[in-house]
Amino acid sequence: MNSIVATANHGAISMTSLEMVDFINSQRQEGEAELQHRDFMTKAPKVLGQEVCEKFRTPYRHPQNGQIYSMLTLPKREACLMAMSYSYDLQAKVFDRMTELEGKATQALPQTFAQALRLAAEQQEEIERQQLALEQAKPKVVYADTMLNAEGTVLVRDAAKTLGVPVRKLESALRDKGVILSNNAPAAEYVSKGYFKESLHTYKTKTRGDQMSRVARVTGKGLEFLRRFAERHAALFVKAPRKASQ
């Protein structure tokens, strides 16, 4: 990885600990030991403080073994502090890159009242289109028994396809609202209502032996719950605003 990868988080520029580790390793000289993410995570509380780390801690699923681990999603100040703990040169590079991305994010915002009105109108139209699509999905939900497995459930991604909403946005919204937990299990409240079932899967790893992962599966009753959920939170499925025209 030859450049800093930063992400926008609710309008603010942030950088994950995974991205920082990749960047630090890209800056190291040949022969230097590669920085491991676990070592970065061990160092972070000493530099930022345990309370700050807990504030910015977020879960992520490992792309190879499917296990859930923790990472940090750091705003500019905290990212620079962590970079400085390795070298001043690295801190300067992180600061410059995140400042550049902040400028680009600002340019994408409406610059005039007229642009703000157009953006608001476009977002409302998108919400209305989303609500219409969900209303039209009602018959699909009612007759969705054919897509249920032998246990009468489907994966969340299959439910999203039935509803016609983006898979990742639905999964993100369910986590934000506490319907699905950080370990991918459904919250007990929604299991008791019959909307979800928890499925357990065992997989083998070379270093830790057998590991278990949890998966939230949607019931037939849960499909209608998700349709109503997506309809109620339609604003969460609106596409990101386009760059304001001059």
For the chain, what are the domain ranges? 7-107, 113-237
127 CB-side CA count, 13 A = 12
The structure tokens listed for 178 are 């506490």
**Mean pLDDT, residues 201-222:** 76
Sheet strands side by side (includes 196-205): 153-155, 209-219, 196-205
CA proximity to 198, closest of 217, 183, 182? 217
Q: What's residue 143's pLDDT?
A: 41
Residue 166 tokens read as: 């983006």
Please name the residue ranges forming H helices in 5-110: 17-27, 37-48, 50-56, 76-84, 88-107
Quick check: 60 pLDDT over 90? Answer: no
127/26: higher pLDDT: 26
Residues 6+ apart with CB under 8 A from 234: 127, 130, 131, 134
Most confident of 110-114, 175-179, 199-203, 212-216: 175-179
Residue 8 has pLDDT above 50, yes or no: no
Cα separation of 18 and 215, whole Å?
24
CA 122 from centre of chain? 24
Sign of the CA dihedral 77, 79, 84, 90? negative
Proportion of the chain above pLDDT 90, given as a percent: 11
Q: The pTM is what?
A: 0.42
DSSP 241: P
Task: Read off the pLDDT band of 115 (50, 70, 90).
Answer: low
Instruction: Between 207 and 224, name the one with better pLDDT.
Output: 224
15: pLDDT strictly greater than 90? no
pLDDT at 182 over 60: yes
State pLDDT tens for residues 21-30.
888 888 877 7
Give the confidence band of 41 by pLDDT, cuts at 50, 70, 90: very high
Q: Is the pLDDT of residue 102 over 70?
A: yes
